[in-house]
């Protein structure tokens, strides 16, 4: 491949998506659930609680638990049902840039 071909590929190739952006300082948000019939229901409810609060504070782009970092999930089977607590540092996807011209 010639140098001119490589230069053309670099100039017109779409830019890669940038890395995800996370809230600075490892700032953690928390979510909880209680009295759920199953551990999985309790886990999902706690994550929904985390996402709801994160959306309220920072907006929808930050509220995807799958994109968060420093995640912890703790669940317990109590006499009144399952309870879970989650915490995580909110992150969002980096912006995609258009093709270079």
Q: Spell out the domain ranges in the chain.
A: 35-92
- Quote the pLDDT of residue 74: 98
| pTM of structure | 0.74
Q: What is the dihedral of CA 52, 53, 58, 59, to 10 degrees?
A: 20
Strand order in the sheet with 29-36: 29-36, 81-89, 69-78
* Encoded tokens for 82: 């399952």
Measure the CA–CA gap between 36 and 44, rounded to whole angstroms.
Answer: 10
- Quote the pLDDT of residue 26: 86
For each of the chain's 101 residues, which pLDDT tens digit applies?
Answer: 444 433 333 333 333 345 789 999 889 999 999 999 999 999 999 999 999 999 999 999 999 999 999 999 999 999 999 999 999 999 999 765 444 44
Instruction: Judge whether 91 and 62 are in contact, CB under 8 Å.
Output: yes
Instruction: Judge whether 30 and 74 are in contact, CB under 8 Å.
Output: no
Instruction: Judge whether 24 and 54 are in contact, CB under 8 Å.
Output: no
């Amino acid at each position: 491949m010639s140098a001119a071909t490589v230069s053309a590929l670099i100039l017109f190739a779409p830019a890669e998506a940038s890395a995800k952006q996370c809230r600075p300082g490892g700032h953690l948000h928390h979510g909880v659930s209680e009295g759920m019939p199953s551990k999985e229901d309790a886990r999902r409810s706690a994550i929904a609680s985390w996402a709801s609060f994160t959306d309220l504070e920072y907006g929808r782009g930050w509220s995807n638990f799958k994109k968060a970092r420093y995640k912890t999930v703790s669940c317990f089977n109590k006499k009144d049902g399952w309870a879970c607590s989650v915490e995580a540092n909110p992150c969002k996807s980096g912006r995609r840039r258009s093709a270079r011209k």
